[in-house]
Amino acid sequence: MNSPIDATWRAFHQRSLDDPDGFWAEQARLVDWERDFDQICDASRPPFARWFVGGRINLCHNAVDRHAARRPDDAALIWVSTEVGQERVYSFAALKDEVEAMAAMLREGGVGVGDRVLIYMPMIPEAAFAMLACARIGAVHSVVFGGFASQALADRIDDAEPVMIVSADAGSRGGKVVPYKPLLDEAIRIASHQPSRVLMVDRGLSAFQPVQGRDLDYAALRARLLGTRVDCEWLPSDAISYTLYTSGTTGKPKGVQRDVGGYAVALAASMKHIYEGRAGETFFSTSDIGWVVGHSYIVYGPLIAGMATLMHEGTPVLPDAGIWWRLVERFKVTVMFSAPTAARVLKKHDIEHLKRHDLSSLRTLFLAGEPLDEPTARWIADALGKPIIDNYWQTETGWPILTLARGVAPAEAKFGSPGVPMYGYRIELLDERTGEVLTEPNQKGLLTIAGPLPPGCMQTVWRDDERFVRTYWSGVPGRQVYSTFDWALRDEDGYYFILGRSDDVINVAGHRLGSREIEECIAGHPAVAEVAVVGVADALKGQVATAFAVLKDPAGAATPEAALRLEGEILRRVDQLLGAVARPSRVRFVTLLPKTRSGKLLRRAIQAVCEHRDPGDLITLDDPSALQQIRDLVG
């Protein structure tokens, strides 16, 4: 068979499915254990799985201490803020000191093993110290994206019931100071649960009044505690490392709970096999610590692999669209991780910003979080001259489900496809109505994972096993499989294509269309920068597709005539490439699309507005004016 997928990879992948115990036992050697495990996986109570049973381990030891012992002076954490114009570089030894000081502060604040610490922080080194300090003493962190409003924060405080909250006076976004303390104080006021201590990092950006008896000053404590030794707390492999919410794209966010041992092994393995990151090199993820990418690939993954992690506070376009690439050049970044939404932002700027830097250190750019449309992928691949690898996964899984494993074999990327199932995942495409497994190429179905989920994936929904089973494992008739809620197809070469979320499937007169297919087609029009397609209820056809597009140059639709002409061109394009059934009823032009704070299109909100319904929970909506534009258009 002439397959673009290398035989080395196929053998590697097959072994992970045929001999999971042997495969994962081998991966487990990538990390240090204080006590070795007795059993690889206990799946006796499906759909729950416990990995590396009997083993005792610590994430902070694996991320910090073991490297500090061998290579104390190597860079571990590089922080650059283009918001406040500051930089700091911490070696592994310095990082260990800072984490121990922070751990001592948590202990003094009464935090013990299993206690929760809520972290509400901007992108500053102290946020990473706080996460690692929790890991060190066996506390469970719950990071809430900095800048979430009071109600969202209050809900999360009540869910996590933290003993302590770590926060800062303010963040900064696009050069504007965003005070956090007033949001935090208000959240604590409306929450039922009351933390006993709030540890405040004062950046001097926004003056605040400490609450007597509750608020602690980080700088004062650090001055006293730096140099204090706090040993790592060895934890059972299945102890809880953290809880984290999903992005809330489809509704109420779910509190994902993750273990320690399985996560450590999964991340170490992914750094080696997928990202090809090596100790001593620099990894740059442009995400935020508030999201799963920030957890796995700003903080834990690179450090576990002994790499320096570059943490950037700022946007991709300030002071100009060359900033990330200057950082790649300066810090000799070898692996970079970003999101399609960022690539689309860059695409609106001069390509020379990317081209004029020496990017010779960079091997691969990975993009994840949203469908990577072909025009964007081609643009950035051309700008950088590097492989662009799409990465498909979820907060729930913690590491990639579908991608190409650069560290195992250099498979060829196909535009529009994140690639193939990663080792350990038993992927099946199912007919969601019958539960039948789809085996033919190019059949569209629900992307599912047969249990047990591999190491690193969620253990359960925080404090709600029942919701875990009901939400993820009960969607398909007759089978208990994990549903990703995404719709996909597999081509004849075994590459997968994500067609959209299963709730975003548009049903036009009985034809089921993925929102993604139509979006991809429209995004291929040279004038279009970005587009969202939703299904809108229609008395005749059941649903019709409606499109909202952002133009590269808004002048393109400045007059009604120009807009109409462009709309006609786009509709003809859909007719030609997909067929008339996929043709949207309208293509309307906006300057901004409604997105979550993590940069995902909020199609459900657009759909609700188009159908004149209540858009529901908009707590994760980034810029409300985007939804208002759509409201104004549909009347």
- The residues that touch ligand ATP, with contacts defined as CB under 6 A, are 246-251, 253, 368-372, 390-392, 394-395, 418, 484, 486, 498, 501, 598, 600
State in angstroms the smallest separation of the CB of 394 from Mg ion: 5
From Mg ion, ligand ATP, none, interface partner of 198 (C-beta below 5 to 8 A by class)? none
Q: What is the DSSP string of 435-450?
A: -PBP-STT--EEEEEE
CB-based contact 283:472 (threshold 8 Å): no
Write the DSSP symbol of residue 579: -
Comparing CB distances to ligand ATP, the nearer of 98 and 155 is: 155
User: Radius of gyration of the chain from Cα atoms?
Assistant: 24
From Mg ion, ligand ATP, none, interface partner of 282 (C-beta below 5 to 8 A by class)? none
Strand partners of residue 89: 78
State in angstroms the smallest separation of the CB of 368 from Mg ion: 13
Comparing CB distances to ligand ATP, the nearer of 253 and 302 is: 253
Residue 457: partners with Cβ closer than 8 Å, 6 or more residues away: 258, 262, 266, 396, 397, 398
CB-based contact 550:591 (threshold 8 Å): yes
Comparing CB distances to Mg ion, the nearer of 197 and 501 is: 501
What are the backbone angles phi and psi of residue 238, rounded to the nearest 5°?
-95, 15
The alpha carbon dihedral of 426, 430, 434, 438 has a sign of negative
State in angstroms the smallest separation of the CB of 541 from ligand ATP: 25
From Mg ion, ligand ATP, none, interface partner of 589 (C-beta below 5 to 8 A by class)? none
State in angstroms the smallest separation of the CB of 471 from ligand ATP: 9
Comparing CB distances to ligand ATP, the nearer of 486 and 622 is: 486
From ligand ATP, Mg ion, none, interface partner of 418 (C-beta below 5 to 8 A by class)? ligand ATP
Q: What is the edge-to-edge ordering of all strands in the sheet holding 426-430?
A: 426-430, 445-450, 481-490, 496-501
From ligand ATP, Mg ion, none, interface partner of 484 (C-beta below 5 to 8 A by class)? ligand ATP
Comparing CB distances to Mg ion, the nearer of 246 and 282 is: 246
From ligand ATP, Mg ion, none, interface partner of 498 (C-beta below 5 to 8 A by class)? ligand ATP
State in angstroms the smallest separation of the CB of 175 from Mg ion: 32
Comparing CB distances to ligand ATP, the nearer of 136 and 406 is: 406
Comparing CB distances to ligand ATP, the nearer of 125 and 599 is: 599
Comparing CB distances to Mg ion, the nearer of 97 and 370 is: 370
Comparing CB distances to ligand ATP, the nearer of 93 and 469 is: 469
Comparing CB distances to Mg ion, the nearer of 583 and 597 is: 597
Element (H, E) at 483: strand 481-490
Alpha-carbon distance values, 157 to 112, 161, 164, 572 (Å): 18, 6, 10, 51
Residue 588's closest CA among 617, 545, 623, 526? 545
CB-based contact 624:618 (threshold 8 Å): yes
In angstroms, rounded to a whole number, what is the distance separating the alpha carbons of residues 539 and 535? 13
70-99 in b/e burial notation, b at 16+ Cβ within 10 A? Answer: ebeebbbbbbbbbbbeeeeebbbbbbbbbb
In the window 240-269, what residues touch Mg ion (CB under 5 A)?
Answer: 246
Question: What string marks each residue from 200 to 239 as x (binds Mg ion by CB under 5 A) or -?
Answer: ----------------------------------------
What are the backbone angles phi and psi of residue 515, rounded to the nearest 5°?
-55, -35
From ligand ATP, Mg ion, none, interface partner of 370 (C-beta below 5 to 8 A by class)? ligand ATP
From Mg ion, ligand ATP, none, interface partner of 530 (C-beta below 5 to 8 A by class)? none
In angstroms, rounded to a whole number, what is the distance separating the alpha carbons of residues 154 and 151? 5
State in angstroms the smallest separation of the CB of 249 from Mg ion: 6
CB-based contact 336:284 (threshold 8 Å): yes
State in angstroms the smallest separation of the CB of 370 from ligand ATP: 5
State in angstroms the smallest separation of the CB of 131 from ligand ATP: 18
What are the backbone angles phi and psi of residue 133, rounded to the nearest 5°?
-65, -40
The closest residue (CB) to Mg ion is: 246
What 3-state DSSP class applies to 57?
strand
Other residues' Cβ atoms within 10 Å of the Cβ of residue 357:
18
State in angstroms the smallest separation of the CB of 364 from ligand ATP: 15
Comparing CB distances to Mg ion, the nearer of 292 and 365 is: 292
From Mg ion, ligand ATP, none, interface partner of 369 (C-beta below 5 to 8 A by class)? ligand ATP
CB-based contact 40:46 (threshold 8 Å): no
State in angstroms the smallest separation of the CB of 357 from Mg ion: 35
Furthest-apart CA atoms within the chain: distance in Å: 72
What 3-state DSSP class applies to 463?
coil
Write the DSSP symbol of residue 298: I
State in angstroms the smallest separation of the CB of 74 from ligand ATP: 32
State in angstroms the smallest separation of the CB of 250 from ligand ATP: 3
From Mg ion, ligand ATP, none, interface partner of 441 (C-beta below 5 to 8 A by class)? none
Alpha-carbon distance values, 617 to 27, 60, 253, 602, 605 (Å): 41, 36, 10, 11, 9
State in angstroms the smallest separation of the CB of 450 from Mg ion: 19
Question: What string marks each residue from 94 to 113 as x (binds Mg ion by CB under 5 A) or -?
Answer: --------------------
Comparing CB distances to ligand ATP, the nearer of 251 and 441 is: 251
Extract the tokens encoding 245: 């919410």
Comparing CB distances to ligand ATP, the nearer of 171 and 290 is: 290
Instruction: Provide the pairing of β-strand 164-168 with 197-201.
Output: parallel
Comparing CB distances to Mg ion, the nearer of 484 and 546 is: 484
Alpha-carbon distance values, 612 to 251, 536, 608, 616 (Å): 17, 10, 6, 12
From ligand ATP, Mg ion, none, interface partner of 392 (C-beta below 5 to 8 A by class)? ligand ATP
State in angstroms the smallest separation of the CB of 89 from ligand ATP: 30
Strand partners of residue 545: 535
Extract the tokens encoding 589: 């032009």
Q: Contact residues for Mg ion (CB under 5 A)?
A: 246
